[in-house]
Structure 1
Amino acid sequence: MAALLTIKNLRVQFGAFPAVDGVDLRLDAGDLLAIVGESGSGKSVTMLALMGLIDAPGRVTADALEFQGRDMLRMSAAERRKIIGREIACVFQDALSSLNPSYSVGFQIGEVLRVHLGLRGAALKRRVIELLELVEIPDAARRAEAYPHQLSGGMNQRVMIAMAIACGPKLLIADEPTTALDVTIQAQIMALLLRLQAEQGMGLLLITHDLAVVAEMAEAAESARAGSNQVAVMYAGQVIETGAAPAIFEAPKHPYTAALLAAIPEHNRGAQRLAALPGIVPGALDRPVGCLLAPRCGQVQPRCQSERPALLTGVRCFFPLTRNSEHV
């Protein structure tokens, strides 16, 4: 049986700069895959490539970029439009800028239903209200007439989720879905995504920079359903560690994963300073010859500076950490 999503050797180039550099990912129906990394790691660009949203001068190549066995790279724009928004849906990170301020939220949800399912009239209005109720928006009939600026950030994010699940997608991509929301609302949105995934049997691909969010979601998903919970850590366009949650949090193998975990505030209670990884993700002009993390890694050795490691047994590192290793 074909995987829901298969990505092999995906590359996205902007000129000579590899924004995504040989990424391999797989997601099965009903599973959760979290892609984690700092801003500039290539997480969102990977998903934009999947949806055909990389414009010139960007160039996308892959050995495989398949959704349910269908080649997303070779299909026409018209064929892709039938899939994106219906079978593959995305919740973007800033709901207020993603929604159109000139139309009510009900109209915008209805537009998805009109385009992909052909709904009209009373059936359309009824389905819009059902979707708003499904994402736990109170007084749904009245809120459907509201404009984005009249709703809170959390409510607008729920509207985005309602739009995304309107056609019963098989794959839901959540790109930093809790950005700019307070902690209480973040937890509610994450719980909502997990509930909808469990009820509708969707594959859920979560993109985030926050490992704490992934750990909480994986723990909640573990107790709620039987699906697999996987994590892929990205750095500078490459997947540098993959593993099952929560095992990857308990025993990270890559120094970068360990550094991300060490920076979680809960792990710094009683410390004078929050643990931090020095430096920034390399760009087009400062890409190292060897391991891409070498200039920032506290465990760097001469080999790391001259050779680039491959992803072997789930980790891209010549000197992976063990349970007794010190974190970066």
Structure 2
Amino acid sequence: MLLNIKNLSVQFGAFPAVEGLDLQLQAGELLGIVGESGSGKSLSMLALMGLVDAPGRVQADCLEFQGQDLLRLSPKQRRQLIGKDMAMVFQDALSSLNPSYTVGFQIKEVLQLHLGLRGAAATQRALELLELVEIPDARNRLKAYPHQLSGGMNQRVMIAMAIACNPKLLIADEPTTALDVTIQAQIMDLLLRLQREQDMGLIMITHDLAVVAEMAQAGANSVAVMYAGQVVESGPLPALFEAPRHPYTEALLAAIPEHNRGAARLHALPGIVPGALDRPRGCLLAPRCAYTQARCANELPALTKGVRCFYPITKQEQAHA
């Protein structure tokens, strides 16, 4: 198994920002993590990468990558692993790249740190990487600074840096958020092509269900739906989206514009994700859920058979919806 996460939690004081997260990924598999802002999608993967600083506290029953216990690695061992075998593409490329150095210098820095490449060998490999991510006039782009490139080009540079050492696992954190629609499609196609060609495990973090639908067409294995720091439903694609069992998954799908053709307004889920001071005693979705019953307000459901709900939606209810 490439990645095995059991009961991962990230706490800030008494606030559980991520709670009881379980995820498994085999080599070469594609996993989507979906949920609205504040659901803990990015934070859970930052915890995996060792990028949660104090006062955040990361705990897990199991946090393994290729059989290695990540919680027991020394800082030196983790630095050797992160960026080489496990890499991450962040959503804001311009703030992730150093504005004081050319993109070529920054790619070569990764190659020197993890592969020991220097001089002409590093330059040649950096050039190959820019061509691999389909940057035109790659040789001249090596000399460019981030501010001289478009948002889409900078995102391609970030992808080039992430795949420089042929990682076994690539985590893409909303990599298309700040880009034009046509550029978003290009970046998605690029990531999915690289995942297939290099047989990487790929975790795609997104709030956009259209992205997940595209992943399903590309052969994504499964998706995990997160809400308020918890996985509320997980399962294979496209089956999970064709027959959602959790009310939150159903609400996300109902809000897609294509599902609201002819309606006066888009379907919306009322309320907001609970924070540190308004966390419900029972089910975290209960104050916003159309199916809530008395038990939901007082008891916290466990994730059972891929759904965290006392009253999962049945096929009969879906048929009458």
Deviation at 1:116, TM superposition (A): 0.5
The code of the aligned residue for 2:240 comes to I
Instruction: Tell me the residue number matched to 2:178.
Output: 180
Displacement of 1:324 in angstroms is 3.0
Partner of 1:260: 252
3-state SS in 1 of match to 2:316:
coil
Q: What does residue 298 of structure 2 align with?
A: 306
CA distance in 1, matches of 2:303, 2:133: 39
Question: How many angstroms does 1:216 deviate by?
Answer: 1.1
Give runs of ≥4 in structure 1 deviating > 4 Å.
none
The equivalent of 1:127 in structure 2 is 125
What residue in structure 1 maps to residue 146 of structure 2? 148
Aligned partner (choices 82, 86, 89) of residue 88 of structure 1:
86
Instruction: Tell me, yes or no, if structure 1 residue 284 matches structure 2 residue 276.
Output: yes
Give the superposition deviation at 1:269. Answer: 1.5
CA distance in 2, matches of 1:66, 1:162: 25
1:323 partnered with 2:290: no
Query: Could you say which residue in structure 1 is the equivalent of 2:8?
Result: 10
Q: What is the aligned partner in structure 2 of residue 159 from structure 1?
A: 157
Alignment partner of 1:109: what SS? Answer: helix
Secondary structure of the structure 2 residue equivalent to 1:324: helix
Cα separation, 2, equivalents of 1:270 and 1:187: 26
Q: Which of 236, 240, 251 is matched with 2:243 structurally?
A: 251
How high is the TM-score relative to the length of structure 1? Answer: 0.96
Show CA shifts across 1:148-175 (max 9, x none): 1111111111000000000000000000
- Which shows bigger deviation, 317-326 or 109-118? 317-326
Deviations 1:278-309 (A, max 9, x none): 11111111010110000000111111111111
SS at match of 1:73: helix
Q: For 1:82 and 1:264, locate their aligned partners in 2 and report how far apart those are by CA, in whole Å.
A: 42
What is the percentage of aligned positions where both structures have the same residue?
Answer: 77
Instruction: Work out which of the residue numbers 195, 210, 227 in structure 2 matches 1:212.
Output: 210
Q: Counterpart amino acid of 2:228?
A: A
* Cα distance, 1:212 vs structure 2: 1.5
Q: CA deviation at 1:268?
A: 1.3
Aligned partner of residue 159 in structure 2, secondary structure = helix
Report the AA paired with residue 317 of structure 2: S
Task: Quote the residue 1:19 is aligned against.
Answer: 17
Q: In the alignment, which residue of structure 1 is the partner of 2:225?
A: 233
Matches within 5 A, 1:97-108: 97-108=95-106
Whole-Å Cα distance in 1 between the matches of residues 192 and 105 of structure 2? 26
Q: Residue 64 of structure 2 aligns with which residue?
A: 66
Q: How far does residue 58 in structure 1 lie from its aligned partner after superposition? A: 0.8
| 3-state DSSP of counterpart to 1:96 | helix
Q: Number of paired residues?
A: 320
Structure 1 residues without counterparts, runs of 5 or longer: 223-227
Residue 72 of structure 2 aligns to a residue in which SS?
coil
Deviations 1:69-93 (A, max 9, x none): 1000111111000000000000000
Secondary structure of 2:130's counterpart equals helix
What amino acid sits opposite 1:317 in the alignment?
C
Deviation for aligned residue 1:275 = 1.0
> Aligned partners of 1:125, 1:49: CA distance in 2, in Å?
32
TM-score (norm 2): 0.98
Deviation per CA, 1:229-283: give whole Å up to 9, x if none.
1100011111100011111110000000011111111111221111111111111
- Residue-by-residue CA offset, 1:71-125 (whole Å, 9 max, x unaligned): 0011111100000000000000001111111111111111100110111111111
Aligned amino acid, residue 85 of structure 2: E
